[in-house]
Amino acid sequence: MTRNKLYVFLSTACTVGLVWLIIAYNRNISGEVDGGVCLFKRITSLPCPSCGSSRSVLALLKGDLSGAFRLNPFGFIVLAVMVTTPVWIIIDLIYQKATLFSFFTKAESFLSRKWVAVSGVLIVLLNWIWNIYKGA
């Protein structure tokens, strides 16, 4: 993937995520409560590993760290990426650098190591078990 394609992809993902958070926030304050939009949960009635991530990010934005962790620990990662990535892209564009792209390629290389990939899969599985246990 080229630098430009990565930056467009990440910018789009962050924008879509921000729009989704705004929608989730508005649904939350208007009192709308339903099963959410998780297709996996609607089909199987089991939460997916990422169920609760939006609510977790909203809890983090309210300063509720323990509530966010209980909802879904992945919310911490999602918020960190959504805040850091756009700023990093803007800085790279201003200074005509590719530091985010360089970081991405190094991270991709690191994450492709067998022990790291297996550990990551285990973390996702443990989070999924946690979501099922608590009935996300």
Residues contacting 91, CB < 8 A, separation 6+: 97, 99
Could you give the percent of the chain with pLDDT greater than 90? 75
- In the chain the first and final C-alpha atoms are separated, in Å, by 35
Give the pLDDT score at 7: 97
pTM: 0.86
Residue, of 37 and 103, whose pLDDT is higher = 103
| In the predicted structure, residue 63 carries a pLDDT above the cut 90 | yes
Burial class (CB in 10 A: 0-12, 13-18, 19+), 93: exposed
DSSP tag of 64: -
Quick: pLDDT tens for 5-45. Answer: 999 999 999 999 999 888 888 877 666 555 467 888 889 98
Q: What is the pLDDT of residue 25?
A: 84
DSSP letters spanning 93-106:
HHHT--HHHHHHHH
CA angle 60, 64, 69 (to 5 degrees): 75
* Structure token digits, residue 108: 């991709």
Q: Which of 130, 2, 7, 9 is nearest to 72 (CA)?
A: 130
DSSP secondary structure code for residue 112 in this structure: T
Which residue's structure tokens are 């991709």? 108
